[in-house]
Amino acid sequence: MSRTFRMSVAAAALSCTMATPVFAQDTPVSAAELAEMRAALSAMNARIDQLEGELAAARAANEAQDAVIAANTEAAAATPEPVVNDQLAKNDGWSFKPRGRLMFDAGSVNAPDSTGASDGFGNEVRRARLGASGDIPGGFGYKFEIDFAGNEVEVADAILTYGDGPLEVAIGHHNNFQSLEELTSSLHTTFIERAAFTDAFGFERRIGASVQYASGAFLAQAGVFTDNFDDTATKNRGVDARVVFMPTAGDAQLHFGGSIHYNDLDNPAASVRYRQRPLVHFTSERFVDTGNLGADSETGFGLEAAGIFGRFHAAAEGFWQKVDMPAMADSPTFFGGYVEAGVFLTDDTRGYKGGKFDRTKPNAPVGEGGFGSLQFNLRYDHLDLNDAGILGGKQAGYFASLIWKPTDYTAFMVNYGRLQYTDAVQPTATGDTSYGVDAIGLRAQIDF
């Protein structure tokens, strides 16, 4: 209450007191009544003082509450938005991100009837993986995945890494450094299976230790490896290395690389076997096959080149695998390679990162008013398993694929392949070893 209000109240009371003799001359005010009125006025002033104190306290409390609300609002505005689909938890340098992929394949293989090949319709769960990856304080990281496809449990990646600037060290079960096609994730390849030579020459994850150096457009990778998780009883010891130059020219991404592979079998009874399916994995038929070859070691050399030019991409690789066979005068060298080209029918481009092809992210995905991405690809795939008296056969594949990606993490593929064989290991009833096989493959996949 203001001082002005208090004075007005007192003045009103005083005027009432002074007016009494004028309008009530016949009723004089006694001293006792005057004292009573003064006491009432004093009590009123005391009550006014009390109310003023309570009002001041309420105002102070409101101001303090407003300050707290303002501070909380400012802190909330300064808090960064959480990163979506990057990691579920991150605290004090620790992070955890679940990973997984599911691929279902179906299709058919059509070979000449008189070969006796088991062909026709086939299907399988090609990959069904679950795992996790993340960071550990101190610059360390981890990645672990298990594959449940084919009624078997197999370890895919199981790696502990350490990174310091451009340098990264990895220990565990991971890919050794052979081929652009092999190192590109199965999620991002343009055909239902990788190029024939990658499977024929036994490219796979192995237990080992490796180091990688990446700076600008230069990438170098090298490592020492033993064998796959399923073959730890072997005495294999290998060395792999790869160098990549990946410059950009305007909007174009270029890629040039080379690799070397050496594997010491270290077993007098050791053998290697090179063979391959006709495009799809769900068939067990192989029309090219060297059989078991007694060997001391194998040495491989690879060359790779690729380019991404907006909607268009092209890639080519060649790999030579020499087998040291002490029982033979000449050791055979086998060859595999491919040439491919692809174009997006939508306004999209193929992903590339770290010396390999990466995820395609549709510019207009389904669910956001778009169609997704649509890509058409052609490939010539060659595998020659004939040399130095070994007749494993030759496979020439003419492939086409159509890939629809509704979103970043879903894809549907249609593949067709015409495979021409020379010196096939399964002759027809007339003894013919040169013939063609048709293969169709369909895939639906999702990952996270």
Note whether 197 and 72 are same-domain residues.
no
What are 119-149's pLDDT values in tens digits?
999 999 999 999 999 999 999 999 999 999 9
Helices (H) and strands (E) in the chain, counts: 4, 24
Residue 172 lies in a domain: no
For residues 395-429, one letter each, b for 16 or more C-beta atoms within 10 angstroms of the residue's C-beta and e for the rest, the string is: bbbebebebbbbbbbbbebebebebebebbbbbbe
Residue 133 lies in a domain: no
Least confident of 85-89, 153-157, 322-326: 85-89
| pLDDT exceeds 50 at position 20 | no
| pLDDT exceeds 90 at position 375 | yes
Note whether 239 and 113 are same-domain residues.
yes
Residue 132 lies in a domain: no
Residues above pLDDT 90, as percent of the chain: 76
For residues 116-140, one letter each, b for 16 or more C-beta atoms within 10 angstroms of the residue's C-beta and e for the rest, the string is: ebebeebebebbebbbbbbbeeeee
Note whether 38 and 118 are same-domain residues.
no
In this prediction the pTM is 0.80
What are 205-240's pLDDT values in tens digits?
999 999 999 999 999 999 999 999 888 888 899 999
pLDDT confidence tier of residue 24, bands split at 50, 70 and 90: very low
Residue 157 lies in a domain: no
Mean pLDDT for the stretch of residues 150-174: 95
Least confident of 88-97, 151-160, 294-303: 88-97
Instruction: From 166, 157, 182, select the one nearest 219 (Cα to Cα).
Output: 166
Residue 169 lies in a domain: no
Note whether 251 and 387 are same-domain residues.
yes
Rg (CA), the chain: 40
Mean pLDDT for the stretch of residues 350-372: 97
CB 359 within 8 A of CB 327: no
Note whether 230 and 108 are same-domain residues.
yes
What residues contact residue 354 under an 8 Å CB cut-off, 6+ apart?
214, 219
CATH number at residue 249: 2.40.160.10
pLDDT confidence tier of residue 258, bands split at 50, 70 and 90: very high
pLDDT for res 69: 67
Residue with tokens 């790696």: 159
Residues spanned by the domain of 360: 101-127+179-203+210-447
pLDDT for res 233: 85
Note whether 235 and 316 are same-domain residues.
yes
Note whether 50 and 109 are same-domain residues.
no
Give the containing element (helix H, strand E) for 200. Answer: helix 196-200
What are 60-119's pLDDT values in tens digits?
776 767 776 666 666 555 555 554 444 555 578 899 999 999 999 999 999 999 999 999
Residue 407 lies in a domain: yes
| pLDDT exceeds 60 at position 291 | yes
Note whether 191 and 280 are same-domain residues.
yes
| pLDDT exceeds 60 at position 16 | no
* Residue 274 to residue 197: CA distance in whole angstroms: 9
Note whether 185 and 73 are same-domain residues.
no
Residues above pLDDT 70, as percent of the chain: 86
Residue 93 lies in a domain: no
What residues contact residue 193 under an 8 Å CB cut-off, 6+ apart?
199, 277, 279, 280, 281, 441
pLDDT for res 318: 98
What is the number of domains present in the chain? Answer: 2
CB 48 within 8 A of CB 55: no
| pLDDT exceeds 70 at position 28 | no
Note whether 37 and 107 are same-domain residues.
no
Residue 67 lies in a domain: yes
Note whether 387 and 284 are same-domain residues.
yes
Q: Say which DSSP state 195 is in.
A: -
| pLDDT exceeds 70 at position 8 | no
Note whether 59 and 122 are same-domain residues.
no
* Residue 146 to residue 129: CA distance in whole angstroms: 5
